[in-house]
Structure 1
Amino acid sequence: MRVQRVRWRPSRWSLQTRVTAVSIAVAGTLLILGVTVFYVTVRHALYEGLHERGAVAIKLLEDDLQRSDPPAVLAPEVTGFSLIQVVDDQGVVVASSPILAGHPAMTARRPSEERERQSETITVPGVSSRVYIVSERVRAPGGWRTIHVGSPMADLDHARGFFLGALGVSVVLISCVVGVAVRRAVRRATRPVCVMSAELAAITGGEPIRRVTVPDTADEVSELADSINRTLRRLEGVVERQRGFVADVSHELRSPLTGLRAQLEVALEHPEDEDWPAVARAALGDADRLQNIVTDLLIMAKLEAGLRLDRRPVDLGDLAHTEAARRRRRVPIEVEADEGVIVEGTQMHLVRLLTNLLDNAERHAASLVRVTVRAEEDTAVLEVSDDGAGIPVQDRELVFRRFQRLDESRKRDSGGTGLGLPISREIAAAHDGTLEAADSDGGARLVLRLPLKGK
C-alpha cells in the first residue's frame, strides 16, 4: 500500500509575519494553560479552606447537640457560616439559623454513615448567590442528625468574575507585547538580509561583482553574508575566466578564419592564375586547425561540466606500450613500465591524456622521448620526458593555461591549439589525480599521478 505524504502549501506570509504569529500562538497557549492551572489551584485552595472551616463549625454544633437538643433557632453564625440547619433522618428541620427559619432543608443529600462529611455548591431559595454547604451525620441524644452549614459565596462569585476578566485581559496584553517584541526582533534580525537581497539584486554581471554588506553581529546572518561573499568571489573568478576564455577562443579562431578568408579572396581575384589544389590544401589545413580547436573545447566543456566517468580497470603500462607503438615517430620513444600498474579510469580519456603528453614531448625533443610507468605505494606514476630545451621554472604553470603557448612551442609548431596540456590536467583531475611539470636533468618532464585500483 502506497502512503502519500501530505505536502503543505507554501505560505504566502512573510517570515516576519509567520514568526510573529507562531510566537503569539505559542505564548497565548502557554499563558492560557498557566492561567487555567492558576485558577484551578486558587479555586481548590478556597474550597479547601471553606471545607475546613465548615468542619470546625459542625464540630462546635455537634458539641452542643451532645449536651441537649438544640433550640429551634440556632446562633446567627458559626465560624463564618450563616446558613445552618439540623435535620433528622425523616428530612425534618429540627433547628436552623435565623435566616433559614421556616425553610425546608437546603439539600436532600445527606451522608449515609456516621462521621461522613460531604460538601457541595448549590443555590438556596432566598439567597442571591451560590452557597457552599458542608454536611455531616452525627448521633445526638434525640437520634441521628445531619448538620448542614452553608456560606454564601457572593464575594467569591464577584471576585471570580473580576479575577477571570483580569486574567483574560492579561493574556491578551501579554500576547500583544510578545507579538510586538518578536516582530521588532525579527525585523531587526532580518534587516541585514533585506540589505543583502537588494545588493544581490543590483548585481547584473556587466560590471565587477560587488560584495554584500557583512553585519557587525557574530551570528548566523553574518555567517550567511560571509558565505555569500565567498560565493561571489568564486563566481567573479569564474566570470573572469570565462571572459578570458571567450577572448582567447575568439582570438584563436580568428587567426585560421582570417587566413582562410584571405586565401580564398586572393584566389578568387585571379582564379586563372591560382593553383587550386594548393589553395584547397591550405584551406584544408586551416579547417583541420579549426576542427582541432572545436574538438578540444568540447572535451574541456564536458570535463568541466563534471560528467560522471565510466571507470574501468586500465593498465597504464600496456597503455603506454600500445600508444607508443602505433605513433608515427619523429624521434624514438622508449617505454619502461612495471607490470600490474592498474588504475580505475576511462580508457578513451587516458589515451587522450597520454597522446597529448607524447605530442608535446615529441614536438620539443631533440633525439629521444622516454616514458616510464611505476607504482609508488598507493599511487601510479607515469612520466613523459624529452631531451629538448625544457620548460623554465617560472613557466611550469603557464603551460597548463588555455591557449598559452611558449615561444619555443610556437617556433616548432604554429598550428597547435594551446589546449593539449590544459585538457590533460583536466582529465587527471577528473580521475582524482594530478599532472605537473617536474624538475629534470635536461628537457621537459611531465609527471602524472593517479590512485592505484582499490586504493
Structure 2
Amino acid sequence: MLRHLRPHSIQARFTLVAGILSLIVLMVIGVGLDLAIRTKIEDGLFQESLRAATYVTGWQAGSTSHLTPKARIDLLQLVDSHGRVLAASPEAASRPFMSTLRPPLYDPVQHRTECSPRSGCVVLTALRIPPLETRVFWQGEPHYVLAGTAQPPLLAEHLLELFIAAGVALIAALATWGTWWTVGRALDPVRAIRARMAEITVTDLSLRVPQPPGCDEIAQLAHTANQTLARLEESATYQRHFASVASHELKNPVAGLQTQLEEALLYPDDVDPRDTIRTSLSTTERLRAIIDDLLSLARVQTVTPAPPEPIDLGALVRDEASARVGDVPVRVRTHGEVKVLGNRIQLIGILSNLLFNAQRHAATIVEVTAAGSDGQAVVTVTDDGDGIAPKDRERVFEPFVRLSDGRRRDPKGNGLGLAISRTAAEVHRGSLRIEDSARGARFVLRLPLMDADRPPARS
C-alpha cells in the first residue's frame, strides 16, 4: 500500500525526504531555542527578584505596611510562617500570599513560576530571612520575602512558541523549495537525454544525446550513452551493408540454380537431367559453403566460446603448417614458448585461413614465424606473391570483398575467411592486419601473452 503512495519522481522523492528531515531538525532546534530563550528570560527575572527580596530583608517590623518595589519587581510580600501577609507592595496588597513556597534554613533561596486562573502566572523568588534578624524582630519565628513580577506576555501568551513555530515552518518551506529547485536543475540534463533518446529509432541512429559540461555522473552518463549510440550506429551500418552484400552473394547462385531447373522443366528433350542435377549440386554446394561461412562469422561475433585454455601458439603454428598440402611449401620458425589464453578451435581457424590464402597467392614459398614481443604473441604469415596494395589492405577484411587476383585464383571463394579471422582475433583482444613486406603479402596476428599483465580472452 505504501509503495503506491510513494512519489514516482526522483525530484518529488528527494524533496519529500528533504522536507521531512529539515522539519524534524528544525523542530528540534526550535524546541531547544524556545527552552533557551525562556530560561534566559526567567533567569534574568529571578536575579532581579532576588535582589529585590534581599533589599526587603532590611525592613523592620512596624516601620511601614507597604514595601517599595525595585525595578521591574513590583510584587513584594512579607509573610510569616503561618502564611499571613505582614507587608506588601501596592501591586501585591490586594493579592493573597503569592506562593506557598517556604525555603528551609539550609536552602534559603528558591525560585518558582506560580500560575493561578485568577491572577495569571508570576515569576517569583522566595527568600527566607536570616535567623539573626528573625530573632531580633520576631523572636525567632521564620519569616519570608516573596518578590516577583507577572510573567512577560512573550512567555505567558506563548508568543515565543508562535514566533519560533512560524520561523521553523518558513525555513522548512524554503529548504523544501530549494531542494525541489536544486534537484530539478540537476535533473534537467537527464530530461533532455530522455527526450533525445525517445527520438532515436533503429532507422536513424545518428542522433546523439546532449552532453552537459563537467565530469559529474550525468555528464559521464551522457558520454557513455553517446559512445553506445555510436557503436550501435556502426553495428547497424555494418549489418545493413553485410545483409546487402550477403543477399547479393546468395542471389546469384540461387538465380542460376532456378534457371537451370526451369530449363530442365521447359525443355526436357533438349536438357540432359544428369547434367542439370550435377550443375545444381555444384551450385548447392557453393550455397552451403556461403551459409556455413556466414554462420561461422555470426557465431564468432555473438556466441560465447568455450572457456579459454592455455595454448602454445608456436606448437599450434607448427601443427597447422605440417598439415598443409599443396605445391607451395610452408616454412616455420618459432622462438621459444609462446603461450596465450584462447579458444583452440578459433585460433586454428585463423591460422588455417591465413595459410590457405598465403599458399594460394605465393609463388614459391610461405614463411611463418611465431615469437613473443612486448607482452604479445606475434605470428606473421608471409608469401612471395604479388602482394596487396596499401589501399586494399583493410578492404580485404570486409565480408565478401574479393580482389581480382583472388577471384582468378579461387573462383569458388566467397570472401568471408579473412573477415572471420579478424573477428576471432578481436574476440581474443588481439588484432590482425597486413603490414609492409619486401615482397608479397605479410599478415600479422597479435595476441596478448598469457603471462602478460593484460586481461585474458573473453570467455
Give the alignment's TM-score, normalised by structure 2: 0.86
SS at match of 2:424: helix
Q: Report if aligned partners of 1:56, 1:79 keep a CA contact under 8 Å in 2.
A: no
Residue identity over aligned pairs, in percent, reads 35
Distance 1:323 1:226, change over 3 A: closer
Selected match of 2:11 from 9, 12, 16: 16
SS at match of 1:113: coil
Amino acid in the other structure paired with 1:33: V
Larger deviation, residues 308-317 vs 352-361: 308-317
Distance 1:209 1:449, change over 3 A: closer
In structure 2, how many angstroms separate the alpha carbons of the residues matched to 1:332 and 1:265? 45
**1:216 positional shift:** 7.6
**1:239 positional shift:** 1.6
**2:244 equivalent to 1:241:** no
Distance 1:281 1:38, change over 3 A: same
Q: Which residue of 1 aligns with 2:277?
A: 280
1:24-423 to 2 correspondence within 5 Å? 24-64=19-59, 68-69=60-61, 73-75=65-67, 77-101=69-93, 105-114=97-106, 116-124=108-116, 126-127=118-119, 129-139=120-130, 140=133, 141=136, 142=138, 143=140, 144-153=142-151, 155-157=153-155, 160-207=157-204, 209-213=206-210, 224-305=221-302, 307=304, 309-423=306-420
CA RMSD for the aligned pairs? 3.0
Amino acid in the other structure paired with 1:410: R
Distance 1:155 1:341, change over 3 A: closer
Amino acid in the other structure paired with 1:152: A
In structure 2, how many angstroms separate the alpha carbons of the residues matched to 1:186 and 1:125? 52
Q: Report if aligned partners of 1:86, 1:145 keep a CA contact under 8 Å in 2.
A: yes
C-alpha offsets along residues 342-370 of structure 1, whole Å, 9 cap, x if unaligned?
A: 22211111111111111111121222222
In structure 1, how many angstroms separate the alpha carbons of the residues matched to 2:168 and 2:264? 96
In structure 1, how many angstroms separate the alpha carbons of the residues matched to 2:216 and 2:338? 51
Q: Report if aligned partners of 1:386, 1:444 keep a CA contact under 8 Å in 2.
A: yes
C-alpha offsets along residues 422-450 of structure 1, whole Å, 9 cap, x if unaligned?
A: 21112222222221112222111111122
**1:334 positional shift:** 2.0
Larger deviation, residues 194-203 vs 180-189: 180-189
C-alpha offsets along residues 211-230 of structure 1, whole Å, 9 cap, x if unaligned?
A: 34456899765665454444
Amino acid in the other structure paired with 1:244: H
Larger deviation, residues 175-184 vs 338-347: 175-184
Give the alignment's TM-score, normalised by structure 1: 0.86
SS at match of 1:252: helix
Amino acid in the other structure paired with 1:116: P
**1:167 positional shift:** 3.2
Distance 1:21 1:10, change over 3 A: closer
In structure 2, how many angstroms separate the alpha carbons of the residues matched to 1:73 and 1:315? 120
Which sections of structure 1, spanning at least 5 residues, go unmatched? 1-6
Larger deviation, residues 29-38 vs 350-359: 29-38
**1:273 positional shift:** 4.6
**2:446 equivalent to 1:446:** no
In structure 1, how many angstroms separate the alpha carbons of the residues matched to 2:376 and 2:215? 44
Amino acid in the other structure paired with 2:413: G
C-alpha offsets along residues 145-191 of structure 1, whole Å, 9 cap, x if unaligned?
A: 22221211153445x53333233333334444444454445445544
Amino acid in the other structure paired with 1:77: P
In structure 2, how many angstroms separate the alpha carbons of the residues matched to 1:446 and 1:154? 98
Which sections of structure 2, spanning at least 5 residues, go unmatched? 453-459
Q: Report if aligned partners of 1:213, 1:225 keep a CA contact under 8 Å in 2.
A: yes
SS at match of 1:63: coil
SS at match of 1:29: helix
